[in-house]
Structure 1
Amino acid sequence: MGDFSIGQVVRSIKGRDQDKVFVVVGIVDDQHLLIADGDLRRIESPKKKKIKHLAKFNIISHEIRQRIVGQVKINNAFIRRELERLGVRSRD
């Protein structure tokens, strides 16, 4: 189960945020990740979610990964634009 990485695009399969698409912004331990979408869950307060409640896409945003690993400032609009660019975020 530890095959998630920062920048990985995931979909929630359980909870109130079911079927919403997020990006992994942090790894807490071998069972929990921090996820954000720049809208419902902002980068300032990412959601701590169990790995078993997430389905991963075979898509990794290298731009988000580079910024988080490099500790460069990242904002919510950038996350939203990146998810749209990857074709996984729908315009609500």
Structure 2
Amino acid sequence: MDSTNDITVGQVVKSRAGRDKGNIFLVLSVVDDKHVLIVDGNLRKLDRPKKKKAKHLTVYNTVLPELKYKLDNNMKINNAYIRKLLEPFNKSF
């Protein structure tokens, strides 16, 4: 997987490389055809998202539409909300 074509905002991803290897994140935005911005609300907060290459991510089929909806409509989200969304994934993976 070399491009971000199959990654969308609100998608659940897992890091495959780097210091954050094995951590679960949410895609905050797609930067270009190779990079995305990811957050987990804990180590990577909304004010400092991590720019990550798509090829270093395992992409899950799960997309959280409520996050995309809130971002598209400029609704307020915070790090606790991100952590709450990711909670079931941190237990199951």
Give the CA RMSD over aligned residues. 0.8
TM-score (norm. length: structure 1): 0.92
2:71 counterpart of 1:68: yes
Shift of 1:63: 1.1
The ranges of structure 1 where at least 4 consecutive aligned residues each deviate by more than 2 angstroms after the TM superposition are: none
Shift of 1:72: 1.1
Shift of 1:10: 0.1
Give the fraction of aligned pairs with identical amino acids, expressed as a percent. Answer: 45
Q: Which moved more, 1:22-31 or 1:61-70?
A: 61-70
Greater fraction helix = 2
Structure 2 equivalent of residue 21 of structure 1: 24
1:5-42 deviation per Cα after TM superposition (whole angstroms, max 9, x unaligned): 00000000000000000000011000000000000100
1:31-82 deviation per Cα after TM superposition (whole angstroms, max 9, x unaligned): 0000000001001110000000001111011111111111111100000001
Aligned residues of 1:11 and 1:19 also touching (Cα < 8 A)? yes
Structure 1 equivalent of residue 89 of structure 2: 88
The size of the alignment, in residue pairs, is 88
TM-score (norm. length: structure 2): 0.91
Equivalent residue runs for 1:6-85 within 5 Å: 6-84=9-87
Unmatched segments (≥5 aa) in structure 1: none
